[in-house]
Amino acid sequence: MDIVGTIKEGFDRSIKDIVKTIVMFVGMYIPLVNFWAMGYMLDVVQTTKKKTMPDFNWVHQFIEGIKTTVILLIYIVIGVVLTMVLGIVGAMLDPMIGMVLGLIGMVLSILLTLMGFVGVMKYAMSRKFGDGFAIMAIIKRIISVDFIVTLIISILGMIPIIGPVMTATFWGKLDY
Protein backbone atom coordinates (compact mmCIF):
# COMPACT_ATOMS: atom_id res chain seq x y z
CA MET A 1 0.00 0.00 0.00
CA ASP A 2 1.37 3.41 -0.99
CA ILE A 3 0.89 5.30 2.28
CA VAL A 4 1.94 8.77 1.10
CA GLY A 5 -0.03 8.42 -2.15
CA THR A 6 -3.13 7.31 -0.27
CA ILE A 7 -2.88 10.21 2.19
CA LYS A 8 -2.53 12.62 -0.75
CA GLU A 9 -5.46 11.00 -2.53
CA GLY A 10 -7.67 11.28 0.55
CA PHE A 11 -6.63 14.91 1.04
CA ASP A 12 -7.31 15.69 -2.63
CA ARG A 13 -10.76 14.06 -2.46
CA SER A 14 -11.59 16.09 0.65
CA ILE A 15 -10.53 19.40 -0.87
CA LYS A 16 -11.95 18.74 -4.35
CA ASP A 17 -15.46 18.29 -2.93
CA ILE A 18 -15.05 20.46 0.15
CA VAL A 19 -18.78 21.24 0.45
CA LYS A 20 -19.66 17.53 0.60
CA THR A 21 -16.81 16.96 3.03
CA ILE A 22 -18.04 19.73 5.34
CA VAL A 23 -21.67 18.57 5.17
CA MET A 24 -20.61 15.02 6.06
CA PHE A 25 -18.35 16.25 8.87
CA VAL A 26 -21.09 18.40 10.42
CA GLY A 27 -23.63 15.59 9.99
CA MET A 28 -21.43 13.27 12.05
CA TYR A 29 -22.14 15.36 15.16
CA ILE A 30 -25.90 15.85 14.83
CA PRO A 31 -28.05 13.12 16.42
CA LEU A 32 -30.03 11.09 13.86
CA VAL A 33 -28.28 12.91 11.02
CA ASN A 34 -25.17 10.97 12.03
CA PHE A 35 -26.86 7.81 10.67
CA TRP A 36 -26.92 9.51 7.27
CA ALA A 37 -23.27 10.56 7.71
CA MET A 38 -22.29 6.94 8.46
CA GLY A 39 -24.11 5.78 5.33
CA TYR A 40 -22.41 8.50 3.32
CA MET A 41 -19.05 7.41 4.72
CA LEU A 42 -19.78 3.88 3.44
CA ASP A 43 -20.28 5.37 -0.02
CA VAL A 44 -17.01 7.30 0.36
CA VAL A 45 -15.23 4.02 1.13
CA GLN A 46 -16.95 2.20 -1.72
CA THR A 47 -16.11 4.92 -4.27
CA THR A 48 -12.43 5.26 -3.30
CA LYS A 49 -11.28 4.16 -6.75
CA LYS A 50 -13.42 6.85 -8.46
CA LYS A 51 -11.31 9.62 -6.89
CA THR A 52 -14.42 11.79 -6.33
CA MET A 53 -16.87 12.04 -3.48
CA PRO A 54 -20.22 10.29 -3.98
CA ASP A 55 -23.43 12.25 -4.42
CA PHE A 56 -25.87 12.71 -1.56
CA ASN A 57 -28.69 10.18 -1.45
CA TRP A 58 -30.17 11.07 1.91
CA VAL A 59 -32.70 8.27 2.43
CA HIS A 60 -30.51 5.46 1.08
CA GLN A 61 -27.50 6.64 3.07
CA PHE A 62 -29.58 7.04 6.24
CA ILE A 63 -30.75 3.41 5.93
CA GLU A 64 -27.17 2.26 5.23
CA GLY A 65 -26.05 4.13 8.35
CA ILE A 66 -28.62 2.27 10.44
CA LYS A 67 -27.44 -1.06 9.00
CA THR A 68 -23.86 -0.08 9.86
CA THR A 69 -24.89 0.69 13.43
CA VAL A 70 -26.60 -2.69 13.72
CA ILE A 71 -23.48 -4.53 12.51
CA LEU A 72 -21.26 -2.66 14.97
CA LEU A 73 -23.70 -3.08 17.86
CA ILE A 74 -23.86 -6.85 17.38
CA TYR A 75 -20.09 -7.14 17.67
CA ILE A 76 -19.90 -4.73 20.61
CA VAL A 77 -22.75 -6.36 22.56
CA ILE A 78 -21.17 -9.79 22.14
CA GLY A 79 -17.89 -8.36 23.48
CA VAL A 80 -19.53 -6.68 26.48
CA VAL A 81 -21.56 -9.77 27.39
CA LEU A 82 -18.48 -11.98 27.00
CA THR A 83 -16.46 -9.67 29.27
CA MET A 84 -19.19 -9.60 31.91
CA VAL A 85 -19.70 -13.37 31.90
CA LEU A 86 -15.97 -14.08 32.11
CA GLY A 87 -15.50 -11.53 34.89
CA ILE A 88 -18.49 -12.67 36.94
CA VAL A 89 -17.78 -16.39 36.60
CA GLY A 90 -14.13 -15.82 37.42
CA ALA A 91 -14.95 -13.62 40.41
CA MET A 92 -17.25 -16.32 41.80
CA LEU A 93 -14.30 -18.72 41.69
CA ASP A 94 -11.65 -16.35 43.02
CA PRO A 95 -11.18 -12.56 42.82
CA MET A 96 -7.81 -12.93 41.10
CA ILE A 97 -9.24 -15.34 38.52
CA GLY A 98 -12.11 -12.90 38.00
CA MET A 99 -9.67 -10.08 37.32
CA VAL A 100 -7.66 -12.16 34.85
CA LEU A 101 -10.76 -13.43 33.03
CA GLY A 102 -12.18 -9.90 33.00
CA LEU A 103 -8.99 -8.63 31.34
CA ILE A 104 -9.14 -11.46 28.81
CA GLY A 105 -12.74 -10.46 28.14
CA MET A 106 -11.69 -6.84 27.59
CA VAL A 107 -9.03 -7.90 25.08
CA LEU A 108 -11.63 -10.03 23.29
CA SER A 109 -14.01 -7.04 23.31
CA ILE A 110 -11.39 -4.88 21.61
CA LEU A 111 -10.80 -7.63 19.06
CA LEU A 112 -14.56 -7.94 18.45
CA THR A 113 -14.82 -4.18 17.98
CA LEU A 114 -12.06 -4.31 15.36
CA MET A 115 -13.89 -7.21 13.74
CA GLY A 116 -16.99 -5.02 13.69
CA PHE A 117 -15.14 -2.27 11.82
CA VAL A 118 -13.81 -4.72 9.25
CA GLY A 119 -17.28 -6.26 8.99
CA VAL A 120 -18.68 -2.82 8.19
CA MET A 121 -16.01 -2.32 5.51
CA LYS A 122 -16.80 -5.71 3.99
CA TYR A 123 -20.46 -4.68 4.00
CA ALA A 124 -19.55 -1.30 2.46
CA MET A 125 -17.87 -2.98 -0.48
CA SER A 126 -20.51 -5.65 -1.19
CA ARG A 127 -23.70 -4.18 0.36
CA LYS A 128 -24.56 -7.70 1.52
CA PHE A 129 -25.49 -7.60 5.22
CA GLY A 130 -24.15 -11.12 5.79
CA ASP A 131 -20.68 -10.06 4.63
CA GLY A 132 -20.47 -8.00 7.80
CA PHE A 133 -20.30 -11.30 9.67
CA ALA A 134 -17.96 -13.34 7.44
CA ILE A 135 -15.82 -14.22 10.46
CA MET A 136 -12.96 -16.10 8.77
CA ALA A 137 -12.52 -13.42 6.09
CA ILE A 138 -12.63 -10.73 8.78
CA ILE A 139 -9.98 -12.46 10.90
CA LYS A 140 -7.80 -12.90 7.80
CA ARG A 141 -8.05 -9.15 7.13
CA ILE A 142 -7.31 -8.18 10.76
CA ILE A 143 -4.03 -10.10 10.85
CA SER A 144 -2.76 -8.49 7.63
CA VAL A 145 -0.05 -5.83 7.58
CA ASP A 146 -2.21 -3.51 5.45
CA PHE A 147 -4.91 -3.56 8.13
CA ILE A 148 -2.45 -2.70 10.89
CA VAL A 149 -1.03 0.18 8.81
CA THR A 150 -4.55 1.40 8.04
CA LEU A 151 -5.48 1.22 11.71
CA ILE A 152 -2.47 3.33 12.65
CA ILE A 153 -3.13 5.81 9.83
CA SER A 154 -6.76 6.06 10.98
CA ILE A 155 -5.46 8.51 13.56
CA LEU A 156 -5.67 10.96 10.65
CA GLY A 157 -9.43 10.73 11.13
CA MET A 158 -9.01 13.13 14.02
CA ILE A 159 -7.99 15.96 11.67
CA PRO A 160 -11.02 18.25 11.54
CA ILE A 161 -13.17 18.13 8.40
CA ILE A 162 -10.79 16.32 6.00
CA GLY A 163 -9.67 13.56 8.38
CA PRO A 164 -12.68 11.27 7.94
CA VAL A 165 -12.37 11.28 4.14
CA MET A 166 -8.64 10.58 4.34
CA THR A 167 -9.31 7.67 6.71
CA ALA A 168 -12.14 6.35 4.52
CA THR A 169 -9.78 6.44 1.54
CA PHE A 170 -7.36 4.16 3.43
CA TRP A 171 -10.15 1.77 4.43
CA GLY A 172 -11.36 1.72 0.82
CA LYS A 173 -7.89 0.71 -0.42
CA LEU A 174 -7.92 -2.55 1.55
CA ASP A 175 -8.84 -5.61 -0.45
CA TYR A 176 -12.11 -7.01 0.87
Does residue 145 have a pLDDT over 90? no
pLDDT at 134: 95
Cβ neighbours of 2 (radius 10 Å): 9
Task: Look at residue 148 and give its three-state secondary structure.
Answer: helix
- Please give the radius of gyration of the chain, using alpha carbons only, rounded to the nearest integer: 18
Q: Contact, 149 vs 5, CB < 8 A?
A: no
CA 113 to chain centre: 9
Print burial letters for 74-112: b (CB count within 10 Å at least 16), e (below 16). Answer: ebeebbeebbeebbeebeeeeeeebeebbeebbeebeeb
CA pair distance 153, 3, nearest whole angstrom: 9
pLDDT, tens only, 6-61: 778 888 888 888 899 899 989 999 999 999 999 999 999 888 877 788 999 999 99
pLDDT at residue 157 in the model:
74
Percentages of the chain per state (helix, strand, coil), in multiples of 5: 85, 0, 15
Q: How high is the pLDDT of residue 129? A: 95
**pLDDT tens-digit map of 76-115:** 999 999 999 998 999 899 989 989 998 999 999 999 999 9
How much is the pLDDT for 176? Answer: 58
C-alpha dist (Å) from residue 148 to 48, 81, 94: 19, 26, 36
pTM of the model: 0.83
Domain ranges of the chain: 3-173
Residue type at 65 in one-letter notation: G
